[in-house]
Amino acid sequence: VVKPKTKRAKRFLEKSEPKLNENIENATLIKDTYALKKPYGVLYKKKNITRPFEDQTSLEFFSKKSDCSLFIFVIGRMYDYHVLYMIESGIENFVSLKDIKNSKCPEGTKSMLIFAGDDFDVTDYRRLKTLLTDFFRGPTVSNIHLAASEYVPHFTALNGNIYFRSYKLLLKKSGSRTPRIELEGMGPSLDLVLRSTRLASDDLYELSVKMPKALKPKKKNISHDSFDTTYGRIHMQKKMKGLKKIREDQERKSKRIF
């Protein structure tokens, strides 16, 4: 166990400890992807030689150093600062943010994700879908203002390729309370093809998504026997003597009337 020597180090260790309700997942990013993820990302500008499918130690080092559970060199996820699974994709077509001269979404905008295509039901694509959802979803909030939901990432899975398009939501006047919605391309746009994957075993994956007992809803007065039969206990309210006396008095008055 590493004991912190300064208050800053203590705060960093407390922030990176496991929690019942996890923080927003930060990501290790490069170039245009940082503009979409900030402020929940760490930008690396230097050319660090990484070969994640051959040696994962460099990724795990940067993950622990920056407290990031997602990475985008190849897209993947960490569990306890170790690579859980990762997916490598090749870029066949790329349009950057700067190439499209339209207005951009402000920092911290809540995104509305769209996934199209039956391929997202396949194992590899299903894991990729969860990665992209965690990457773009942003912070968890109780209420959302319509004007603050401007960013629309659109992913289409077709014939082994992933087509990623970014749109900005425009609210136009419609003559009623409900505005007319238009989508305007803002970049970046990528045509991706999956090359290789390294998925975690089923046991490790189930362990990573296991819900802590403290977050599970408690079921009171329910028990199970050795044959897994469920029994429920019902508590009956006791009859109150005061109510019995009131009823007897009411009966006497009714008899006197007649």
Domain ranges of the chain: 22-202
CATH number of 22-202: 3.40.50
**Residue 253 pLDDT > 70:** no
Residues 6+ apart with CB under 8 A from 208: 79, 84, 200
pLDDT recorded at residue 154 = 93
Quick count: other Cβ atoms within 10 Å of Cβ 134? 15
Distances (CA, A) of 72 to 52, 106, 156, 194: 11, 22, 19, 14
Cβ proximity of 175 and 145 under 8 Å: no
| Torsion on CA atoms 47, 50, 56, 59, rounded to nearest 10 | 20
What does the pLDDT look like over 79-128, one tens digit per residue?
777 778 888 888 888 888 888 888 888 777 788 899 998 888 887 788 88
Across all residues in the chain, what is the average pLDDT?
Answer: 76
CB neighbourhood size of 41 (10 A): 22
Q: Is the pTM of this model over 0.75?
A: no
Model confidence at 68, pLDDT cuts 50, 70, 90, reads confident
Asked whether the beta carbons of 165 and 154 are under 8 A apart, the reply is yes
Q: Please give the pLDDT value at position 126.
A: 85
